[in-house]
């Protein structure tokens, strides 16, 4: 199916900071299913940390790839990697994102959202 110039959002997903740990990777629950991964190939991802603990993000469940400080937000634009050749740079469909950090019993959540090109 061809892609269009319209964008669509991912269904927002979240992780309760009380269930994360510093020595294990916890998967983001996409559509409440923690093993599915991203439903589409995304060109932008946003991670919002609304808890009192810094967290690490992994794209493979092994290595630390990103850090999101407490009470902050990080946005990752993958299309900026496409210049100057014009290639499409996307996070692969079904990529699983994992989170690691110190548990925070004060409430809040860590949210994952993003955007992809809608298919016709």
d(CA 116, CA 11): 11
Q: Are 106 and 70 in contact (CB under 8 A)?
A: no
Q: What is the mean pLDDT of the chain?
A: 85
Domain ranges of the chain: 3-119
Q: Is the pLDDT of residue 114 over 60?
A: yes
Q: What is the mean pLDDT of residues 27-35?
A: 63
- CB under 8 Å to 15, separation ≥6 — which residues? 26, 28, 29, 99, 109, 110, 112
Per-residue model confidence (pLDDT) at position 59: 93
**Residue 72 confidence class, pLDDT cut points 50, 70, 90:** very high
Q: Are 5 and 120 in contact (CB under 8 A)?
A: no
pLDDT tens for 7-19 read 889 888 888 898 8
Determine the CATH number of domain 3-119. Answer: 2.60.120
């Amino acid at each position: 199916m061809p892609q269009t110039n319209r964008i669509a959002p991912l269904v927002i997903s979240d992780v309760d900071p009380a269930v994360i740990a510093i020595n294990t990777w916890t998967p983001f629950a996409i559509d409440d299913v923690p093993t599915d991964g991203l439903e589409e190939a995304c060109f932008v991802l946003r991670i919002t940390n609304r808890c009192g603990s810094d967290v690490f993000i992994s794209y493979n469940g092994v290595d630390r790839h990103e850090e999101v400080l407490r009470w902050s937000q990080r946005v990752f634009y993958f299309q900026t990697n496409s210049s100057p050749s014009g290639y499409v740079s996307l996070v692969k469909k079904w990529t699983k994102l994992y989170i690691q950090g110190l548990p925070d019993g004060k409430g809040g959540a860590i949210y994952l959202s993003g955007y992809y090109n809608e298919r016709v």
